[in-house]
Amino acid sequence: MLERQLAGKSRALIIVPVLMTLLIAVYAMLTAQNVGGHPRDLLFDGFERLHPRSSASANLDNYVIIDIDEESLQKLGPWPWPRTSLAKLVATATKAEAKGVVLAITVDGPDPLSPEIVGRYWLEDARNAPLAEAISALPSHDVALAASLRESNGVIALGARARTDWNHRTNLKRTDIGASDWLILPDGNGQSELVALWPVNTNGLIDRTLQAVAMPSVLALTLDKDGKLRRLPPLWNAYDSAMPSTALAIAQINGAKVMIIPHKTRSTASGKPIAALRVNDNILPLDQSGALRLYQPRKSAIATVPAWRLLTTGQNWSGALSGKTVIIGESVSAGAYVKSNSHELSVAEAHILFADQMLAGIAPIRPVWAGLLEAGLVLVFGVLIIFAALILRPSLVTSITIATAFLLLTVNWLIFNSTVMLLDFLPAIFTVLLAPIAMVVTHFVNSIIRDDHLRGAFHGALPPATMQHIGRPKGAGLLSGVRRQVTVLSCGVRLPRQAMAQFVDRSEEFIHFIAQSNDKLRRTILDHGGTVDHGEDGRLLGYWNVPEENAHHVEQACACALDMIGDMVTLSQDVEMSVLARGSKASVEQQETAFEQGYIEIGLASDICYSGPVGRGARNRYSVIGDAVALASHLRSRSRQYGPAIICDETVFMGMRHHYAFLDLDTLRINDSQQITPIYGLVGNPFLKASRGFRDLADRQRSLIIAWRSGEFDAASAHLEQLKDIPGINNFFIEMYEQRIAEAKQNQQLGRRSDDKEWDGSISVML
């Protein structure tokens, strides 16, 4: 019954790896299109570092960055600079015949250093009113910047801060791109087209003069949750209108014709998401968030000129700017740098890389069916590995697991290397690696559950070796019911009535003594490979040859019985030392007397019996049912009467008579059986058996039993008289046979025996 329960739990636990595989498959399916800080991004980062965009597809020599760096601040003044300084940089680049000038510094909102702002907010009190009016009359810095941009193919920037949360697309804003003259609409008719775009935070409006002479763009970069720049929306919503990112604007001033491709089937409350971007003849797929994934080239160095050199010796640098797209940026404020999957980039460098990627028409692709494929791989390989773990050796399963994981990773890499397709085989790899671990954990948990049951039900009852075997998966059958030869030992500690009387007022000490005795004897049974059970009146039972088979079960039971006699001596000494440690001298002498009078009683019998767990839950115990149990208990009860502490049946005697010293004691007729059962006393080891004194005692006692069984009472009396002369003979044994012989002679004289042939000298007992 217990094993059926344990087997059911084992079958339930084996489902754990399957459930784990299903959960990973569902996770792979549901998160297939999630972007921004997803664990798969780390895999894609590694692929992109191993296989970057080829240098042949990059034209980074066409760009030059004018950088407002720390050195420029030391030479020209602290940041922020007035927009007149930016105008000088634009004018210098234009004069150098740059192909286009991109101001990668936000100009939304007024310039705090512009004269009208200074006069309006800083000098507006009464004392400085004339000065404020005079300063306000000076030309605006935006006018100066617009004048420099008018002569160039220019781009200005706004919105340094983005409002993106990649997986919360409810933040997208409904945007009409029909009025955007810089876009080619899908239908080409100029009608309204509503799409969903990410909004951007601005610092205010852009001056109309600036907006009239240069293309506005959004400078904001979007970082994933781990702080890395991996993707950028090419289009934004600013001032409720569609506006290109600065990267897309850079691509446009380099001759790119841009058309957006909305999703044909997907739609949200904010409009249709953008599925792809067409730049010239190249279609760049966007992810579910409407962003383009950055794919850096192998060599991403971009020519950079410090701003102070152009403002102090501008003519000397005109050759470096001629025919190039010039991006004016700064690297001194907070957030001027972002971290990509390989190294840090300035904001200007990041937009140039995105723009160059758009012009090259290359973008990593994450197919819409990727989740289905990845979930299918999880299920297929998960089932295969679980099946292999069930039927193959652990070492072979480990090799297969490692090889399969490496194969999946290699195939994943080869797919990206040849197609730039972003497939994520990590769920399948994790399943392959974790499924065998889950199987091991399953067996471990199963062993713990089994061990908990065993500890609760059989703690201190089964031998340690048997407990270990049962805890293993293949050891479950050991606790099944079985019918076989079992050697049973029944033992107990008895105190005479006069000794018991001394404990009338000290019951706690008596219970402690009995508990200590049983614990000592229990451990002796376990040390000899026996199984412990409890009989009536607090007695102990020991079983050999169950649950595990043992060819030497009779010998081990005899050795255990002899060691128990030594345990009783040791126990008496321990009790004596304990009393000395806490009692008075009178108390010590009194308790010594009581314990010295105690003796151990042991009965041994061996026969075919039924054995197995009996009970439920924590009250379960391993027990044996059969005549041997009753006989061993009866023999134990006759120990004091016959003298030897260990009384055994004929089966034990016949098995061990050449190894141990035995004495003939009596014959029994059990339960009115016609068969006579001799019983013997186990008195010592082979050394005692070889001694002359023991041989004399054994011979005389055997002669007594033979004469008694033959009805030769006078001869039996003679042998009994000879036994009295042997030192150490038990008085109870002598008195018992004296009484028997006397009664037999008296009955013989009175003629109470009708048939002498029926006499066998046996004692009838009912078990």
Grouping H, G, I as helix, E, B as strand and the rest as coil, residue 647 is strand
- How do 194-201 and 161-162 pair as beta strands? antiparallel
pLDDT in tens, 146-197: 999 998 889 999 988 777 776 676 678 888 887 777 888 776 554 567 888 9
What is the average pLDDT value for the chain, to the nearest integer? 84
Q: Which residue has the higher pLDDT, 270 or 347?
A: 347
Query: Per-residue pLDDT tens for 378-417?
Result: 999 999 988 888 888 888 988 999 999 999 999 999 999 9
Is the pLDDT at 743 greater than 80? The verdict is yes
Partners of 344 in the β-ladder: 339
Which structure tokens are listed for 707?
A: 């004469």
- Please tell me what DSSP assigns to residue 460: T
Highest mean pLDDT among 140-144, 208-212, 556-560: 556-560
Does the structure show a pLDDT above 50 at 462? yes
Closest CA to 297 of 253, 330, 341: 341
Please name the helix (run of DSSP H) or strand (run of DSSP E) that holds residue 217, with its range, or none: strand 215-218
Question: What is the percent of the chain where pLDDT is above 70?
Answer: 84
- What is the third-level CATH fold of 476-656? Alpha-Beta Plaits (3.30.70)
What is the per-residue pLDDT for 136? Answer: 55
Segment 486-490 shows an average pLDDT of 96
For strands 194-201 and 173-176, give the pairing.
Answer: antiparallel
Backbone conformation region of residue 245, classed left if phi is above 0, alpha if psi is from -120 to 50, else beta: beta
- Distance, CA of 392 to CA of 313 (rounded, Å): 77
Span 222-262, pLDDT tens digits: 888 888 999 999 999 999 889 999 999 999 999 889 988 88
Specify the 3-state DSSP secondary structure of 554: helix
Q: Compute the distance between CA of residue 657 and CA of residue 664 in angstroms, rounded to an integer.
A: 11
Q: How far apart are CA 362 and CA 548, in angstroms?
A: 71
Report pLDDT digits (tens) over 575-622. 554 444 444 444 444 444 444 556 789 999 999 999 988 876 656 788
User: For residue 732, how many other CB atoms are within 10 A of its CB?
Assistant: 13
pLDDT, average across residues 327-350 = 91
Task: Examine the pLDDT at 133 and tell me if it is beyond 80.
Answer: no
Could you write out the DSSP letters of every residue in 609-642? EEEEEESSGGG-EEEEESHHHHHHHHHHHTHHHH
- The pLDDT tens digits for 665-690 are 999 988 878 889 999 999 988 888 88
Predicted local confidence at residue 303, as pLDDT: 93
With b for 16 or more beta-carbon neighbours within 10 A and e for fewer, the 611-632 pattern comes to: bbbbeeeeebbbbbebbbbbbb
215-230 pLDDT, tens per residue? 999 999 988 888 899 9
253: which 2 tokens? 């001033």
What is the CA angle 630-631-636, rounded to 5? 100
Average pLDDT over residues 294-320: 85
Number of Cβ within 10 Å of residue 742's Cβ equals 12
- Quick one: pLDDT at residue 475? 66
DSSP string covering 356-377, please? HHHHHT---B--TTHHHHHHHH
Q: What is the pLDDT of residue 448?
A: 64
Distances (CA, A) of 736 to 217, 608, 631, 632, 666: 120, 32, 21, 21, 11
> What pLDDT, on the 0 to 100 scale, is given for residue 651?
95
pTM of the model: 0.65
- Assess whether pLDDT exceeds 90 at residue 35: no
Among residues 702, 716, 698, 730, the alpha carbon closest in space to that of 759 is found at 716
**Higher pLDDT, residue 707 or 439:** 707
For the cut 50, the answer to whether the pLDDT of residue 467 exceeds it is: yes
CA 47 to CA 84: how far, in whole Å?
Answer: 45
Whole-number pLDDT of residue 476: 63
The DSSP code sequence of 530-552 is PEEEE-GGG-EEEEES-SS--TT
| Cα distance between residue 720 and residue 196, in whole Å | 116
Give the other-Cβ count within 10 Å of 756's Cβ.
8
Distances 732 to 76, 494, 549, 728, 738 between C-alpha atoms, Å: 122, 16, 39, 12, 10
As given in the structure block, the two tokens for residue 21 are 């595989």
Q: What are phi and psi of 669, to 5 degrees?
A: -115, 110
Closest CA to 613 of 522, 484, 480, 488: 480
Q: What integer pLDDT is reported at residue 454 of this predicted model?
A: 58
Burial 217-230 (b: 16+ CB within 10 A, else e): bbbbbbbbeeebbb
Q: Peptide bond before 364: cis, by omega within 30 degrees of 0?
A: no
* pLDDT confidence of residue 122: 55
pLDDT of residue 8: 46
Q: pLDDT tens digits for 103-121?
A: 999 999 888 777 776 656 6
Name which residue leads in pLDDT, 69 or 732.
69
Average pLDDT over every residue of 533-539: 82
Lowest mean pLDDT among 200-214, 441-455, 733-747: 441-455
Domain extents in the chain: 2-33+371-454, 60-112+141-360, 476-656, 686-767
